[in-house]
Each structure stands twice: as C-alpha cells, then as structure tokens.
Amino acid sequence: MSNLLLQLADPDEVAAIVDDVRREARYVVTDFSVELVVSKFRDEAETEGDIYVPEYQRSLAWNEEQSSYFIESLILRVPVPPVFLYDVEGRLEIVDGSQRIRSLVRYLRDGFALRGLEKLDILNGYHFADLPPSVQRRLNNTPIRSFVLDQGTDESTRVELFRRLNTSGKRLEDAEIRKGVYRGAFLDLVIERAASDLFKSLTPHMAKGVDARSERQELVTRFFIYCDRYLAFRHDVRKFLDSNMDKLNKSTDEARLSEMGAEFERTMQFIRMYYPKAFYRPDGGKRVPRVRFEAIAVGTALALRSDPALRPPSDAWLRSKQFEELVRTDASNSAPKLRGRIEYVRDSLLGRPYER
C-alpha cells in the first residue's frame, strides 16, 4: 500500500503542532437576539456601531428571495448556521454571517418585502411593519447563535476562518480579501502594477468565471513576494502570501517600493520582448496557470538580477518536457517544486545546467 511509503513524523510533534494551530483561534459562544443585532449593526467599520461588516465582504449580497428564505427560517425557529464575529476593541467585526445579518437589518428596517416563500406563502409581499405584532416579537426575540473570536486571534487566522466558513454563493478571491485586510503602500504597488497596460498586454485573457482584475493582483503579489522570499516558503501558499503582504506593508520604505516596481517593469518588458505568450500554455489555452506564471516571471527576474545585460540563448526550455513537468498545477503547495520551477527558468535563461 502507498501509505506504507509515507515518512511519518513523531506522534508527539504532530500532536503539539495540532494543539498550537487549534489555539490560534480563541472564542466564546453566546446568543444575541435579532433585535439586538439589528440595533447595533452598521454597514461601515468607520461609523459608530458595535457590529459591522469588514471591507472585504462588502461586495457580497443576497437577492431578496435568498433573504426571504432566511427570514422565514427564523420565524419558523428552524435552526440556522451560527455567525462568527471578531472582537475589535469591544466592537464586533463580522467574519462569517454578513449576508444573514444584513438581510435581517434590511428586513426589520422595511427595506424589502418577503417573496418566494413556500412554507409561509401567506407572508409573501409582507414588509416587517406589515407583520402581526406577535410575529414581529417572535422574530425580534429569536436568538442568533454567535461565536465571538477573541481579540488576541491573529489577523491571518481570522481571514483563514472567513475563507473556510464563507457561506455566500459568490466566492471572494484571495486578492479581494487582502485588499480589505492588508492595507498599505505595498498593496498599492501591487494594485498599480497589476493594472498597468504592460502587464495586461501579457495577460490579455483569464479563465472563464475568474475576475481578471483580482487574478492579475494575485499574480503580481506572488511575483513580488516570491522574488525575495521563495526560499522561505514551506507550505500553504495563502498563509505565506498573507503574512508577507502584512510584513511588506508595514516595513517597506518608499525607496524599496520604487526598486520593486522598476524590477517588475524590467522583467515584464524582457518577457514581452523575448517570449510574450509564455504565460499561456502552448496548446492555446486562455488561462494563466499560477504555477506557470510564478516560474517564468520570478525565474526571469532572478536571471536579470544575475545578468542585467542578459540575452536568452533560446526559448527551447519553454517547450521542454521538463518544464511542463515542473509547472503542473498540483505542485502549488510544494516548496521543493516551487524552488525547482523558478530555478529551472533562471538557469535556462543564464545558460546554466539545471540540477534538481
């Protein structure tokens, strides 16, 4: 059996790691009434309100039928999923449950009429103000089970929790989440370069259903972080990018940001000159695989660092079987494969023999 080939870690070490990760999220469980939640809600973190939606969730919205179905469940006292909140100096940021809470707020403030109900179809067309007083009280007094994360929970853990719990029908891209959480000068650089005409000319197409703007920002984020830190990567791309985004926002000065921007520009100009379609597979696909982009963009940047006057010997490496093996999409979380594909491109451009 293949499992027999696994190199198992020491059981005590495994148990210690599991305990450490579990302790990253500390929380209390409580019940808030619908009336209390609505009275304390504000849609903007900057305005006064004890419960609010963070920026990275603002673009999500249920339609009125989805909201009505949720309101019906509360009136019927059908168990619904809990909401997850994060304590920010006594105020509560919604980690998961923004659609449910915003639906409640809109309905109790007469923002829409119920529609599409089947069980309580008699209530279709009813605003909150139209409900009999007894039903209004029942809805107001319905408890909402809430998990409140302690303020000591670190930011990356909170964002990861949102990713795991997100119950919206529309999935938020990682780049959109980072824009809401990790603000700063480095993020501004990423957004600026991702929107440049040069980069768009090299990435004219994105996969169907993918937000092109967000995906370009994801790719540029990987370029900047991997160029200087790919050797530090161990596992979990999201967490690695999140933590480094946070550090770079806090520690990178204007001079360094300028250098990084210039390197990105120089690298993309080089790619456009010598292999402008390299980010796409040779079979003509209209998708930029992230692992392929990482290998080509970061590998090229490292080669140019070694030889600023570089002229590549040929682009035969782009069509090689070895390169295709190195940029398989199942290699995204493998540190050795990340190093391998980046260094293969670097060494190929420099005319060096590549050694695994």
Domain ranges of the chain: 20-165, 174-350
| Beta-strand pair 91-96/51-52 | parallel
Q: What is the pLDDT of residue 161?
A: 67
Q: What is the pLDDT of residue 74?
A: 95
Structure tokens of 89? Answer: 């100096």
- Residues 158-212 have pLDDT tens digits of 666 666 665 554 555 666 667 656 778 999 999 999 999 999 999 998 877 778 8
pLDDT averaged over the chain?
A: 84
Q: 327, 307, 308: which is closest to 317 by C-alpha?
A: 327
Alpha helix (H) residue ranges in 76-184? 98-108, 133-141, 155-165, 174-181
- Comparing 306 with 330, the larger pLDDT belongs to 306
Across 93-107, 215-229, 313-327, which has the greatest mean pLDDT? Answer: 215-229
Q: What is the pLDDT of residue 1?
A: 43
Q: H-helix or E-strand containing 199?
A: helix 197-202
Instruction: For the sheet with 143-149, list strands across it.
Output: 27-33, 143-149, 83-88, 91-96, 51-52, 41-42
Q: 333, 337, 310: which is closest to 322 by C-alpha?
A: 337
Structure tokens of 312? Answer: 């590549």
Is residue 236 a contact partner of residue 163, using CB atoms and an 8 Å limit? no
- Residues 335-350 have pLDDT tens digits of 888 999 999 999 999 9
Binned at pLDDT 50, 70 and 90, residue 3 comes out as very low
pLDDT of 123 over the 80 cut: yes
